[in-house]
Each structure stands twice: as structure tokens, then as C-alpha cells.
Amino acid sequence: MQSPAIAPSILSANFARLGEEVDAVLAAGADWVHFDVMDNHYVPNLTIGPMVCEALRKHGVTAPIDVHLMVKPVDRIVPDFASAGASLISFHPEASEHVHRTVQLIKSHGCQAGLVLNPATPVEVLDYVLDELDLVLLMSVNPGFGGQAFIPSALDKLRRVRERIERSGRPIRLEIDGGVKVDNIREIAAAGADTFVAGSAIFGAKDYAEVIARMREEIAKAGTRQA
């Protein structure tokens, strides 16, 4: 398993002060910046694009930017995000005509590639592409909005994907996204996640550092219990 990474979703940040919000959350101990891209077509919401990613890089953000594409079609926006400074680019298989080709496209632009599984997308979608991936992102809410409740069936799905990753023998990250809080992150980590997106739980708190520290403590407890 990879070392735990906490990736605050900027969907819940104050967009009027985005640069400061990202600086604050990284200073508070976050590892990555989770960047939710929505197109009002694949999902019923509209957010931010490559220009905002580039603006964060120009602002001085050096942490990995974890781009979660909820757009259809996917391929034509990939090069723009790569040039804008994305570190990882993940997409939903339902939004790509040719999943394997999109993975290769992302990697050919120098980014790490992830595939995102919606709550009702079966894990078998990974069967012929897992060996090409750097990350699997499991949605524990339906994509489109922050602040939704964690769907409990994601725990069993995490275990099933974790088994597949272990069998592959490759250092593939397993990321969970949606409804992650201090009070459920231990169970989520014990089920096999190593990368944790949290939007409302972090940006909705007064003290970002305190929430991130408590999340890390809970993740560490899951590790102790597994050992």
C-alpha cells in the first residue's frame, strides 16, 4: 500500500479566494489538491477548467494537482490540463469512447492516469486496463456535488479493488471520493484506500490543520488494526 495522501477537494473552497485557500490547506498539511472539473453535461454542475489549474501553478502551488474530470467527451481536454500543470488526470469510463486510448493519451502528455468508478459502476471495468493505471478513484457519492453522504457499499468495493491492486503487484493508488469525514476515514482506510479526497469536511471546518491531523490519526489507527 502507498503512504496515505490527503487531497482536499477545492469544490468546497471559497472560489473568490482560491489561491489563498489552496495555500492554507497545503500549509495545514494536505498532500495533494483535488481539482473537480464538471461540464453540466456528464454531470449536472459546472465548475472550473485548465485556466484555473494554470493560475494555481502561476500562483506558486507546487503540490500534486489531482484532476478529476467529470466531462464528456474526455480526450480533447486532456492536453490542455497537461499543459496547465496537472499531475494526475482521472476520468470516468462512461465518458470515454475508448478507455484504453484515453489512458494512453494522458500518459503520453506526461501525467499519471486514473480511472474513476461511480457507485454503480462494476469493478470489472478495471479488468483489461488496471495494469496501465497509476490510480483507481472510487466514488462514494454520485458525481456532481460536494457535501453528500458516503454510500456504505463503497467499503466492500474498496476491498475488492484493493485485492485486484495487490494481485497486480503494481504501485497503483486507491483513492476514495465523497462523504469522507473524520468519523468514517478509519473504516475507509481499513477497507483499502490510501488516498482520501475530502471537500466539505476540510473546507467546512474552521481549523484545516486540526481536521487534517485528526484524519491522519484515524488513518494510522486503521493501519495498526490491520497489522
Question: Which residues are the active-site residues?
Answer: 36, 177
Strand order in the sheet with 33-38: 5-8, 195-198, 173-177, 135-139, 112-117, 88-91, 65-70, 33-38
Other C-beta atoms within 10 Å of 192: how many? 22
Min. distance of Cβ 10 from ligand 5SP in angstroms?
A: 8
Contact between 173 and ligand 5SP by CB under 6 A: the answer reads: no
> b/e for 215-224, b at 16 or more Cβ within 10 A?
bbebbeebee
Count of alpha carbons within 13 Å of 192, Cβ hemisphere only?
19
Phi, psi (rounded to 5 degrees) for 42 = -70, -35
User: Choosing among Co ion, ligand 5SP, none, which partner's interface includes residue 199 (Cβ < 5 to 8 Å by kind)?
Assistant: ligand 5SP
Residues 177-206 that bind Co ion (CB under 5 A): 177
Residues 28-67 that bind ligand 5SP (CB under 6 A): 34, 36
Report the DSSP pairing between strands 135-139 and 173-177: parallel
Contact between 68 and Co ion by CB under 5 A: the answer reads: yes
Stretch that binds ligand 5SP, among 95-103, 157-165, 172-180, 212-220 (CB under 6 A): 172-180
User: Choosing among ligand 5SP, Co ion, none, which partner's interface includes residue 198 (Cβ < 5 to 8 Å by kind)?
Assistant: ligand 5SP
Task: Answer for the pair 48, 33: CB distance below 8 angstroms, yes or no.
Answer: no
Which letter does DSSP use for residue 157 in this model? H
Name the binding residues for substrate. Answer: 9, 68, 144-147, 177-179, 199-200
Task: Answer for the pair 31, 7: CB distance below 8 angstroms, yes or no.
Answer: yes
Based on CB atoms, which residue is closest to ligand 5SP, 16 or 100?
16
Task: Answer for the pair 21, 203: CB distance below 8 angstroms, yes or no.
Answer: yes
Stretch that binds Co ion, among 43-51, 63-71, 72-80, 122-130 (CB under 5 A): 63-71
Contact between 36 and Co ion by CB under 5 A: the answer reads: yes
Residue 72 to residue 211: CA distance in whole angstroms: 34
Contact between 5 and ligand 5SP by CB under 6 A: the answer reads: no
Contact between 135 and ligand 5SP by CB under 6 A: the answer reads: no
Contact between 148 and ligand 5SP by CB under 6 A: the answer reads: yes
Task: Answer for the pair 154, 176: CB distance below 8 angstroms, yes or no.
Answer: yes
Min. distance of Cβ 18 from ligand 5SP in angstroms?
A: 14
Min. distance of Cβ 10 from Co ion in angstroms?
A: 10
Binding region for Co ion (CB under 5 A): 36, 68, 177
Positions in the binding site for ligand 5SP (CB under 6 A)? 9, 11-12, 34, 36, 68, 141, 143-148, 177-180, 197-201
